[in-house]
Amino acid sequence: MTRVSALRAWLPAGGGLRHEDWARRHRLLTLLLAACVAALTGFGTFQHGLDRAWLITVMLILPCVVLAVLLPGRRLPSVFIALGYTVVCGGFVSMAHGLTEAHFTFFIAVAALALYRDWAPFGMFLIATTLHHAVFGVIVSDRTYDHHSAMAHPWLWAFLHGTAVLLAATFQVVQWKLTESEEERAQANLADSQAQLSIAFDETPVPSAMIAPDGRLLRTNAAYRHWLGLPDELPPGFSVQDLPITVIGAGPGDVFARLTSTREPMTVTTRYRREDDGSLMWVEVHSTTLADRNGTVRAIFVHCIDVTVTREHEAALQHQVQHDPLTGLLSRSGFEQDMVAMLTGRPIPASVLYLDVDRFKSINDGSGHATGDEVLRALAGRMMQLVPRGSLVARLGGDEFVLALPVAPDAAREVGQALITALAEPMDISGIRIQLTVSIGLAPARTPADASEAVLAADTAMYAAKRAGGNRLELFSEQMRITVQERITAEARLRAALDGDRDRTLPVWFQPIVDGATGSIIGAEALVRMCTPQGQILAPGHFIGAAEETGLIVPLGEHVLVSALRHLLAWQNDLGYISVNVSPRQLSEPGFAPMLAGLLARVPHLDPSRLVLEITETAVLATSGDLETRLRAIKALGVRIALDDFGTGYSSLTWLQSVPADVVKLDRSFVAGLATDPRKSSIISAVLWLAQSLGMTAVAEGVEDVDDWQALRAAGCPALQGYYFSRPLPATEFDAMLRRGADLVPA
C-alpha cells in the first residue's frame, strides 16, 4: 500500500482545470478533430481517390465529434475525442498504405490529448493505439505496416509502436506532473497571499471596500460597516447608491463616477451628511483601480479616512490666519483676499481708509499694554458700528487699521470724518478715562489689480495727515506719491552712502562759532553732507528725514561723531570744541552712551569737554522718561550738552532747569531782526541772564548781518554763529581758515 501511495505521489493526479479552461481546450480539440475530416478528404483526393478506408474513417470520426459536443460532463466527451484522434491517426496510416511517416501522427495526437490533463482520454488513446497496431496489423497488415517484418509479426510491432507512443507520452506525463506541482505551489502561495490580504483587509481599522464597476459593493471590511452602520451581511446587489450618506450638493454615485473616471490612483475629499443623525463629516476617499491583463476594470478598491477633525482644525487655523486675534477684525492676509473679491466685477470704485492712532505709544507706556489692548478692542467695536454694510475692517498690527468701503470716495470721506468724531469720544478703560485722536488716509480702489496699490496710497495719505498734526483725514494725491518716492530715493542714497567710503560719500563740514566780542573762532558745529556719485553735494534736508524714519540716523550719527573726534585731535591747538547734533532717535537708543564711551576710549589724550552734543527741546519731549538718566551718563563721560533751538518749545524754562545742559543755543527766530525789535532784545537779555545764573554759556544762531551782531554783542552774548561770519565749510577749507588765524568779523 505504501508503494502504491508513493507511485501515486509520483504520477500526476489529473483534472484540476477550471471549467472554463477545460471547455476552451475541449472546443479547440473538437474543432481540430472536425478539421481532420477535411484534411483526410483532401489527402485522399490527391493520393489515390476516396476509397473505402477514407469512408470508414470519416464515418467513425463524425460520431465522435457529435458525441464530444452533445454528451454532458467532461470525461465522456474527452474520451470520444481520444477515440476520434485514434481513428484519424489509424485512418491516415491506412490511406497512406502503412507508410512509416504516417505513424508520426500518433505522437502528435498524444501531445494534443495531454491538454486535457485527464487520465481517461490519455489512457484511452494509448490503449486504442496499441490495439489498432495489433488488430489491424493482423487483419490488414499491408495498410498498417510498409515492411515485411511488421507484416509477419504484427503483435511484436504493435508492442514496439505502442511502447514508442508510451515513451512519447511519458514526457507529456512528466510535463503534466511538473505543471501540477508548480500550480500547487502557486496555489499555496496564492492562498497564503489571499489569507494575508484578507487579514489586512478585514482587520485594518481604516474603512475599506471593493466596488464593482457598476457600483455594487463586492467586499467590505468591519471598519467600513461599523463606520457607516451597515449590517455584517449586505443584501445582494447592495451598491453605493444604497449607502446611508449623502454628499453635500450631490449623491454618492457622483463621487463614485469621479473615482471611475480614471484608472490612475485618485483621492477625492468630500463633505457628507449622515442620514441617521444628520451630522456632517469630511471624508477623504483614496481609490485604486484593479484591472485585468486586457485593461478591463474588474473592481475599484477604496479606503476612506474621516478627516472631519482635521478639516475643522484647518478651518479654525484659517480663521486665525485671516482674523486678528486681539480685535476679531480681519488680518492683513484676510483683508487682501476679501478686498480682491469685493473689487471683482465692481462697476464703480470702492474706497480704502488707512487709520492710525495718534501717539498711541503714550498709552502703552503710561497705562500698560493691557490697557492698550482694551483700547484697540474698543476702537474696533466703534469702527464696526460706523462703517456701511459690506465693508471690510482689518487690523494690520499695532495701532494701524485699514478699511475697504463699498462706496465712492466722497461718501467714504463722510465715513472717515464720522470715524474721527466718534473715535475722539472719551472711553472708560479699566477706570481710566482715555481720549484719542486718529489720522486717516483715503484713496480710491477700482479693480482687483490695484487693490494693494490703493492700500499703499491710503497709507501714504495717512502719513500726510499725521505730518500735518494728526486728528484729520487726507485724500491721496499724486504729489504725496512724489513725496514718498523722494523719501524712498533719499533712503536708497543714504544706504548706498553708508555702505561706501563714508569720509567721501558723507563728508562732515564745519561752521565756525565765534567769540561774541572779537569774532575769533572758538568752536565749530559739525554738519554732515552727502556726496552723490555724480559729485553733487546735498544738504542734510535731502536725507536726514529719511534717516530718522528708517533708523539709519544711528549709524549716520556715529559716523559724524567719529569724524568730529578725529578733527578735534587734528585741531588740538587751534580749536576749542566741536558741537554735534544728536537726534531723538539716537538719544532713545539704549546703546548710545556706551557707544560714545567706546569712541572716547579710542582717543584717551582728548579732553572730552571739547565735544558738545546738541539736543533739541523736541528731542527732550519725545524721548522716554529715562532721558535724564542717559544725559547724566553722557555728562559722566566729561562731554558737554547743549540745548539747541532754545525758545521754540512749550516749556523751555522748565526744561532749562531740569536738563543738565552746559550750553543754550538761542534759536535763529529770536536773532533775526533783533536790532529793530525791542521785544526780542528783552527776551535775549532775559535768557542770557537766566543762562548765566544757571552756570551755562549761550550761543546765538542765525546771525545774518552786522546789525544783529552788534545788538548781540551789546547784549553780552558770549558766542555767535551764522552766515555773517561763515557758511559751513569742507574740512580742508575750515582747516585753512584756522591756520590763517584771522578774526571772522568783516571789515
Q: 496 near 549, Cβ under 8 Å?
A: no
Looking at domain 323-476, its CATH superfamily turns out to be: Reverse transcriptase/Diguanylate cyclase domain (3.30.70.270)
At residue 116, the 3 state secondary structure works out as helix
Query: Backbone dihedral region of 700: left (phi > 0), alpha (psi from -120 to 50 degrees) or beta?
Result: beta
Which pLDDT value is given to residue 279?
A: 80
**Separation of alpha carbons 503 and 494, rounded Å:** 13
- Judged by DSSP in three states, 368 sits in coil
CATH number of 204-312: 3.30.450.20
| Per-residue pLDDT, 562 | 95
Q: Which long-range contacts (CB under 8 A, 24 or more apart) does 648-655 make?
A: 648/617, 648/618, 649/617, 649/618, 649/620, 649/621, 650/621, 651/617, 651/621, 652/617, 653/690, 655/617, 655/620
* First vs last C-alpha separation in the chain: 149
> Coil, strand or helix: which one is 10?
helix
CB neighbour burial string for 344-362, b if at least 16 within 10 angstroms, e if fewer: eeeeebbbbbbbbbbebee
The DSSP symbol for 135 reads: I
**Residue whose C-alpha is closest to residue 32's, from 95, 107, 88, 106:** 88
53 closest CA partner among 17, 3, 89: 89
User: Burial of 38 by CB count in 10 Å (0-12 exposed, 13-18 middle, 19+ buried)?
Assistant: exposed
- The three grid cell numbers given for residue 743, joined into one nine-digit string: 578774526
pLDDT tens for 269-280 read: 777 788 777 788
What SS3 class is residue 471? coil
Q: What is the DSSP string of 180-202?
A: HHHHHHHHHHHHHHHHHHHHHHH
- Residue 732 has what pLDDT? 93
What is the Cα–Cα distance from 354 to 400, expressed in whole angstroms?
Answer: 7
DSSP 240: G
Phi-psi region for residue 33, left (φ > 0), alpha (ψ -120 to 50) or beta? alpha
Contact 493, 529 (CB under 8 A): no
> From CA 45, how far away is CA 577, in angstroms rounded?
139
d(CA 132, CA 90): 7
E strand or H helix at 473: strand 472-475
Q: 704 — phi, psi (to 5°)?
A: -110, -25
Show the CA angle centred on residue 660, arms to residues 659 and 664, nearest 5°: 80
C-alpha cell of 461? Answer: 495719505
Cβ-based burial of 40 (10 A; exposed 0-12, middle 13-18, buried ≥19): buried
Residues of the chain with pLDDT under 50: 1, 3-14, 624, 651
CATH of 490-739, one of 3.20.20.450, 3.10.580.10, 3.30.70.270, 1.20.1370.10: 3.20.20.450
In what helix (H) or strand (E) does residue 736 lie, and over which residues does it extend?
helix 731-740
Angle at Cα 623 formed by Cα 620 and Cα 626, nearest 5°?
Answer: 100
**Number of Cβ within a 10 Å radius of residue 295:** 7
Question: What does the pLDDT read at residue 747?
Answer: 52
Q: Are 11 and 175 in contact (CB under 8 A)?
A: no
Which stretches within 250-322 are classed as H helix? 252-259, 308-322
CA distances from 234 to 242, 316, 669 (A): 11, 39, 99
Burial bucket for residue 484 (CB in 10 Å: 0-12, 13-18, 19+): middle
Distance of CA 134 to the CA centre of its chain: 89
Q: What is the largest CA-CA distance in the chain?
A: 170
Go through 250-273 and write b for each residue having 16 or more CB atoms within 10 A of its CB, e for each that does not.
eebeebbeebbeeeeebeeebebe
Neighbouring-strand partners of residue 403: 353, 393
CB 60 within 8 A of CB 37: no
Residue 676 DSSP class: G
| Cβ neighbours for 94, distance < 8 A, ≥ 6 positions apart | 53, 57, 136, 140, 143, 144
pLDDT at position 648 is: 63
CA distance 552 to 548: 7
Report d(CA 378, CA 273) in Å as an integer: 40
CB 404 within 8 A of CB 339: yes
Q: Quick one: which of 68, 88, 79, 87 has its CA closest to 28?
A: 68
Q: How far apart are CA 654 and CA 659, in angstroms?
A: 9
Q: State how far the Cα of 659 lies from the Cα of 641, in Å rounded to an integer.
A: 9
In the chain, domain spans: 10-181, 204-312, 323-476, 490-739
pLDDT value of residue 745? 66
The dihedral region occupied by 355, where left means phi > 0, alpha psi between -120 and 50, and beta the remainder, is beta
pTM of the prediction?
0.51
Query: Which residue blocks in 328-391 are alpha helix, DSSP H?
Result: 332-343, 361-367, 369-386
Residue 520 phi/psi, 5-degree rounding, is: -80, 150
Contact yes or no for 209/302 (Cβ under 8 A): yes
pLDDT at 597: 93
Sign of CA dihedral 494, 497, 498, 504: negative
CA nearest to 116, candidates 178, 173, 35, 57: 173
Structure confidence at residue 301 (pLDDT): 81
Among 102, 87, 98, which residue's Cα sits nearest to residue 142?
A: 98
Give me the count of residues in the chain.
747
Residue 144 contacts residue 137 (beta carbons within 8 Å): yes
The DSSP annotation for 490-528 comes to: HHHHHHHHHHS-HHHHSPEEEEEEEETTT--EEEEEEEE
What the block records as the C-alpha cell of 437 is 485722536
Residue 420 Rama label (left phi>0; alpha psi -120 to 50; beta): alpha
Distances in Å between the Cα of 490 and the Cα atoms of 505, 539, 728 are 14, 12, 22
